[in-house]
Amino acid sequence: MIARKGINEEEIAALYNSFCKKYKPLYDNDAWLYIEDNFWTYVFSSGAPDILMQIYSELGIESPKGNYYKRQLANLKNKFDIRCNILDVGSGMIPSFANLLAQEQLRLGTGTVTLYEPLLLTTEPKHRNMTLHKTEFTSETHIKEFDLLTGILPCGATESIVENACRNQKDFYIAMCGCTHFDYIPWYMYVTPEMYQDHVIEKTKRLLEEYDNGTLVVERLKGEKDLDYPILYNRKKW
């Protein structure tokens, strides 16, 4: 069961009802119908689609293995100093990872988080060190003022993060999704998520070398089975 320690089904229902009152008007009809149909299905499973993970995270409902976004944040902190200006891309309708990241920066005493996500439900920040942009991130987005780019399941923005970060010699941390986002696929060609992941990995290696932005590290989130996709980040040579 996905549940915060000590929380029961009645308490989950109360949290969900409060969430519905606040957020239902902000979702489009298709998204909300999906949430209504599946909220309870995935509460009692070991994994969930990101649209539901965001809700569970905001409500404090966790799986036995822990909150996915918290685990990614812990992994990020092992690789980079987050006491800096961070740009989070593809943050989701509810920017759960960015919310946790900003909260941790406040605890540490410094750092900011800026978001780019066209599907944001609101641009009202949860924490005072956040700036939210309800717009698409591209390879041409201005990023000079940022120290680190992050993307947790950023889907179609993955390659834009890589291209922009490498060209501007910025650090990046990307937890890839399990989709394919090729610009063009011939009708006769069958593609898999692994093929797209390999494509991004090879492209990232090439761009890191071209722009002298360090070397690529590829790993997986330890203990993750449901979202067992590559994590890409760079290591500077100096």
Domains of the chain with CATH codes: 9-59 (no CATH), 68-235 (3.40.50.150)
pLDDT of residue 5: 47
pLDDT in tens, 17-31: 999 999 999 999 999
pLDDT tops 90 at residue 105: yes
Q: What is the mean pLDDT of residues 82-101?
A: 98
Mean pLDDT, rounded, of the chain: 92
**CA 157 – CA 15 distance, rounded (Å):** 32
pLDDT tops 90 at residue 225: no
pLDDT tops 90 at residue 127: yes
Region of 92 please: left (phi>0), alpha (psi -120 to 50) or beta: left
**CA 7 – CA 222 distance, rounded (Å):** 26
pTM here is 0.93
Q: What is the mean pLDDT of residues 39-59?
A: 89
